[in-house]
Structure 1
C-alpha cells in the first residue's frame, strides 16, 4: 500500500461472517422444527429445508454487504464451465449410468415423476444458492476480507473454504472413527468436494459474482438426482459414508471421482496462483463487474498471449472491481506521484484514446474535469491487438484513455474529482 492511503483491516467482515455462519447453523433448525408436520413426505421436507436455509444464507450475504454478488450477467455460467465443465460431464455420465442400472433391473418409472421433476428442480436450485452463498459467499468472503492481501492469505482462504465445504458433506456424529473404511470414505469425500470448491472459487473470484456458480451447482446436483429420485421415485439418501461391503465400493468410487476432478482442480489452482493481489472479496467492497459492454470493449483493446489468457481475465476483473469500489483504495494523487519512472514513461505526454477501425471504439474523450473510465498500467505481456479490436463487436461505445503523466499532488487539479481508479500494488511495469 502506498503511503498516504488507508486500508480497512477487514477483521470486522471476518467476525461478521463467523457470526453469520454460526447463526445459519443453528437458526434453520428452530424455524424448520415447527413446520415438520406440514411436509407430506421426506422429499417435501427436504425442499422446505433447502428453501429456508437458502433464503437465510442469501439474506445474511446481503446483510454483510454482498448483495452485488448475486448479480448475474451473460457469460457467468460459461465462466464457471471453464473450470468445472469436465466435472459436470462426470455427473452427466453418473446420472446416465444410474438410469441404465434401474432400467436393466426392471424398475418401473414412478407415476409421480412429473411432480418430482418440479420438486427436485426447486430443491437443486435451493442447494446451489444455499451452498454458494454460505461457503463461497460468506465463508470465503469473510476470510478474504481479512487475509486477501497476500498470496499466502489468499490461497489459504480458498483452501480453508474448500476444507470447510468438504466437511459439511460428512455426518460426523454418525461416523465410526474406529473404522478405517469409514474414515477413508470421509476423507475421500472431503477431497472430492474440496476440489469442487476450489474450482467454483476460481470462477467466482474472477467476477465477484456467485449466481452463475449457484445455477451450475444446482444443475450439477440435478443431473445426479434425476434418475433415482425423479424418474424412479427412490427415497433420497444423502449419507456419503457406508459400512460393510458397500464401504469398499464407496472408496473405489471416490478414488475415481478424485482422479476425474484432478484436471479441473489443477486448472483452477493455476488460475488462482496468478490472480493479481490484493483480492479482498465481495464482502470487503470490491464490486462486481459492470455491464457486458465494458467487458467486450476491454477484451477488444487489451489482449495477452495465449498462455496468459487467465492473467488477462483476472487483471480485467480486478481492475473493474477497484474502479467500482474506490473506497477500498483511496489516494490517486499519492499513487500518481510515487509510480516508478518506468511506468510513467510508458504513457504519452497527453491523454490518448485507444481507437480502432471499429466505430464502437470512436467514442469521444470526456471533457476535462469529468469522470471517465481510465485503464491502469497493464502487467507485462499485454499488447494492443488491432486484429482483435477490429473483429470485436462491442455493443456500446466505451472510451478508454491513457492517464496523463503523474504530477505532484498539489499540481493535479482534477485528481480529487476525476474518479480515476487506483491500481492495486504490483501493477506497475
Structure 2
C-alpha cells in the first residue's frame, strides 16, 4: 500500500486527503455524543475534538509510514532554528484578545473555556500535520528539485488548504464569508509552509495555529455577554487584510530559505 501511495502524484494524494477530511467532518457523530452532552456548545466542541483527533492520527500515521519526518519538521536531525519567527503571528492573538476584552466574562464556565482550547489546539495539530506535515513534503519530493519547485510546493499546499475551508459551506450559507475564509487561509497556510522550512519544526506551528483559532473563537463561548452583531450576515474583507501581512512576510522569509538544506532533506528521504 505504501509503495502504491509513493508512486501516486501528490495531486492525487491531495484530492484523496481532502475527500477523507470531508468524510470525517461530515460523519454524524453528534448523535453519539448527544447521549452524553445536552449542551450545544459542549456537543459541538467535543465532536470537533474527536474528529480533529482522528484526522491528526491519520496525518501522523502517514507521515511515519511514508518516512517523511524530516521534511515534515518532526525529525531530531535538524534543530529548531529561528525560533523568534514563530512569534510573528502573535499580533493575531492580540487582536483576538482585544476583540473581546471589554466583554463580561463572569458567566463563562471554566470547563467550556478548557474545551474550547483543547478543540482549537486539536484543529491546529490536525490541519498542520495533514497539510504542512504530509502534503507539502509530498509536493517537495516531487517538484522540490526543479526550478521554482520549492515555492510552488509551498504555494500549492496553501491553495489546497484554503480550498479545504469550502467545507464551511455546510454550516454557513453565506458564500462571501466562506470565500473570504478561503483566501485568508491560503495566506496563513503559505506563511506556515515557509516557516516550517525555515525553522525545521512543525509542532510549534501547530500550537500557534491552535492558539490563533482559540483567541478568535472566544466570542463563541456561551455566557459571554455581547451586543447582537447586526452585520453577522454581511461580508467583510477585514480578515483578508489582517492575514495579508503573513503572506507578505512569508514571501520575504522564502527569499532567505537555505535551498541547499532543503535539497539535502529531499535526498535523505528519497
Between Structure 1 and Structure 2, the one with more helix by share is 2
Measured against aligned partners, the alpha-carbon deviations of 1:162-185 in whole angstroms (never above 9, x if no partner) come to 221122223345676xxxxx5543
Deviation of the 1:273 alpha carbon = 4.0
1:130 to 126, 132, 145: 126
**Superposed, which structure 2 residues align to 1:121-200 within 5 Å?**
121-170=117-166, 171-172=168-169, 182-200=174-192
Divergent runs of 4+, >6 A: 72-75
Q: CA offset at residue 214 of structure 1?
A: 0.7
Find 1:94's aligned residue among 93, 96, 99.
96
- Find the aligned partners of 2:222 and 2:121 in 1 and give their Cα distance: 15
TM-score computed with the length of structure 1 as normaliser: 0.50
Secondary structure, in 3 states, of the residue corresponding to 2:138?
helix
1:246 matched to 2:232: yes
Which stretch has the larger CA shift, 157-166 or 13-22?
13-22
Q: TM-score, normalised by structure 2?
A: 0.75
Work out which structure has the larger RCO, using CA pairs closer than 8 Å and 6 or more positions apart in sequence.
2
> Could you tell me which residue of structure 2 aligns to residue 205 of structure 1?
197
- Whether the 8 Å CA contact 1:21–1:138 is kept in 2: the answer is no
The runs of 5 or more residues in structure 1 that have no matched partner are 1-9, 177-181, 235-241, 278-314, 329-429
Call closer, same or farther: CA 1:233–1:13 in 2, change over 3 Å. Answer: farther
Q: Residue 56 in 1 paired to residue 58 in 2?
A: yes
Are the counterparts in 2 of residues 77 and 213 from structure 1 also a CA contact under 8 Å?
Answer: no
Q: Does 1:232 align with 2:224?
A: yes
Shift of 1:17: 5.4
Tell me if structure 2 keeps the 8 A contact 1:72–1:212: no
The total of aligned residue pairs comes to: 254
Which ranges of structure 2 fall in alignment gaps of 5 or more residues?
1-5, 38-42
Output the aligned Cα RMSD: 3.6
The verdict on how the C-alpha distance between 1:156 and 1:38 changes in structure 2, with shifts beyond 3 A counting, is: farther
Deviation at 1:30, TM superposition (A): 5.3
Distance between the aligned counterparts of 1:222 and 1:77, measured in 2?
A: 26
Larger radius of gyration: 1
Aligned position for 1:109 = 106
1:271 and 2:253 are equivalent in the alignment: yes
